[in-house]
Chains A and B, each alone.
Chain A
Amino acid sequence: MRLSKGKRKALTGYLYIMPWIIGFAVFTAYPFFYSLYLSFFDLDFTVFGISSTFAGLKHYLYAFRVDTNFPIQFWNTLLSVGLSTPLILIFSLVAAILLNNKLKARSFFRLLYFLPVVIISGPVISELVVNNAAQIVDPRRYFIYNFFAALPGTVSYPFLYMFNNLILILWFSGVQIIFFLAGLQKINGSIYEAAKIDGANSWIIFWKMTLPLVKPFLLVNAIYTIVDLASFANNPVNTSITQRMFDVDKPYSYSAALSWIYFVSIMVLIGVTFLLLRPKEGTR
């Protein structure tokens, strides 16, 4: 049988992406959907094999009604991802704008700010935090910190969070700074000159020109940041998920339910981010 050239090309194309399709099915899609399935079932390990019985929403309800650790770890993780993301975005945009100036030592600073990306890992961060290496100054010594600490919890929490996690916010910004910098360098310098001639100052230029032009990068960076933070090994929620895996009365399935609660929440966070930063219709 002879195939037409187009069909032959299509088959060859499929041949090249076949490893990915197989890997996707076995190592991504199957574990992903199987954990959703598991979260609604109870597993029983018997000598004859594994038997599963339908448990409905039992595990989901247990997570929030009975479990005392999970809700705390879950909200702490979500809160820290939700608060760190905007802080990282703002900081990395500011750092990129500063680095976008014509400076002699520019590549040195860029190198320095990128360094943590290379060395960051769960155990290294915990060692640094435990041994006070991530605390440059004790913020409690400063008036501004104490001023915010005196305010009601919901108002002060974001500010105190920022002061307490300053180094971590900087250390998670490396890739984002490079992204923003690349975006800023794509902007043609002559439009700035045109704006200056028209009498715009740097403040107006930032809000009316730079920000709209880097907005696509803002979205990519925001999603990257959320995914990066959400998968980090030190998140409190990970302890729940990995330690409850071998619970005798509800092996695997309870952890699967916890991981799906977490997954859905992170997707909501990404969804909200997308709605906030999405490209406007017709402006592209």
Chain B
Amino acid sequence: MKSIGVKFILYFILISIGYAYLYPLLYMFTTSFMTVEDLVNPTVSWLPTRITFENFKKSWTVLEASKTLLNSVYLSVIPSVLQALVTALIAYGLSRFNFPLKRLWLFLILATFLIPTQVTIVTKYMLFSRLRLVGTPLVSFLPAVTGQGIRSSIFILLYYNFFNMLPKTFDEAAELDGANSFQIFRRIMLPLSLPAIVTTFIFSLVWYWNETLLTGMLLGNEIKTLPLALRDFVVRFALMFPAADGSAANRINEGIRMSATLMTILPLLIIYLILQRQFVESLERTGITGE
């Protein structure tokens, strides 16, 4: 029933906001393909006059992408799988069993969400260095397997709400048939909670991929992920391409830096494009937004 004018204004605002959202990505995308001449030429603002892949070649070497990409993949996939399974197990315990102090545990699970990463960074480093684990992948696997992974509180709560919505009659029927509680979890709850598993997995994946504050500290210099390599990009570029000869070709420029940034987020962009529905709609479907 809305008039065309109102609709027009609405679309105009939404598109303007959308442009603001996309601007950094578009800028990054076009700049990555620009030659040095295009970058310094003030008349070239969006479309490069000649498309070059030189920037990507350089940043691939500086990022050591063949190695760091693999590191990023296993350091985000494995903890995410662990997190998706363990948080489900914990939430199942909270949802289906009554035990003393349950409210206290629920409260603590919520409370841990509020602790900023920085507060425990010093003592976590001390803890892992005393265990001689600094620089090993265990620094992110161990917390994930004990339900202390990145933002695990959100996921426990998400599963908890999800399990509470599943009727208990399923469990009771299975129990009468002689199934124990773990069988009920494995054969009934897990298959039914596929949306929650997918949500937990993909969000963990993205957050583990992008985490640099804590892992940057705990992984030390032994393991570099793609975002960590991007963090040290300028320094490493100067080491690998010394600009002593003064030629412009070996100097770092926006084109190279933007291509490195694009390479770091490209795997995430691809995942997002493939799983777009899961990302946005799963947040609503799993019922995290309300009791």
Contacts and interface: CB of A to CB of B under 8 A. Distances in A.
Indicate, yes or no, whether A interacts with B: yes
Interface of A: 6, 9-17, 19-24, 26-28, 30-32, 34-35, 38, 95, 98-99, 101, 103, 105, 107, 109-124, 126-128, 130-134, 136, 166-167, 170-171, 175, 178-179, 181-183, 185-186, 217, 223, 227, 230-233, 235, 237-238, 241-242, 245, 252, 255-256, 259-260, 262-263, 266-267, 270
A14 B274 CA distance: 39
B195 to A, nearest CB: 14
Given A19-B89, A132-B254, 13 more contacts: A14-B99, A20-B86, A20-B156, A31-B123, A35-B119, A103-B14, A107-B280, A113-B21, A124-B227, A124-B230, A127-B258, A235-B118, A241-B122
A30 B284 contact: no
A15 B117 CA distance: 28
Interface of B: 2, 10-11, 13-14, 17-25, 27-28, 31, 86, 89-90, 92-94, 96-100, 102, 105, 108-109, 112-127, 142-143, 145-148, 156, 181, 206, 209-213, 216-217, 227-228, 230-231, 233, 254, 257-258, 260-261, 264-265, 268-269, 271-272, 276, 279-280, 283-284, 289-290
A6 B99 CA distance: 9
Contact of A231 (B14, B117, B125): B117
For A98, A128, A185, the residue with the greatest tally of chain B CB atoms inside 10 Å of its CB is A128
B22 A266 contact: no
Given A19-B146, A111-B280, A113-B18, A118 B31 contact: no
Contacts of B147: 19-20, 23-24
Contact of B280 (A110, A120, A217): A110
A270 B146 CA distance: 27
A131 B31 contact: yes
Nearest to A180: B289
A123 B95 CA distance: 39
Given A14-B99, A123-B228, A178 B123 contact: no
Nearest to B19: A136
A32 B284 contact: no
A263 B143 contact: no
Contacts of B102: 13
Contacts of B20: 136, 166-167, 170
B118 A262 contact: yes
Instruction: Kindly list the 6 A-B residue pairs having the minimum CB-CB distance in the complex, ordered from nearest.
Output: A23-B146, A16-B93, A13-B97, A121-B210, A31-B123, A10-B99
7 contacts: A10-B100, A98-B13, A112-B22, A124-B261, A175-B283, A179-B289, A230-B116
Contact of A95 (B17, B31, B108): B17
A105 B14 CA distance: 10
A110 B280 CA distance: 8
A118 B279 contact: yes
B213 A237 contact: no
A16 B127 contact: no
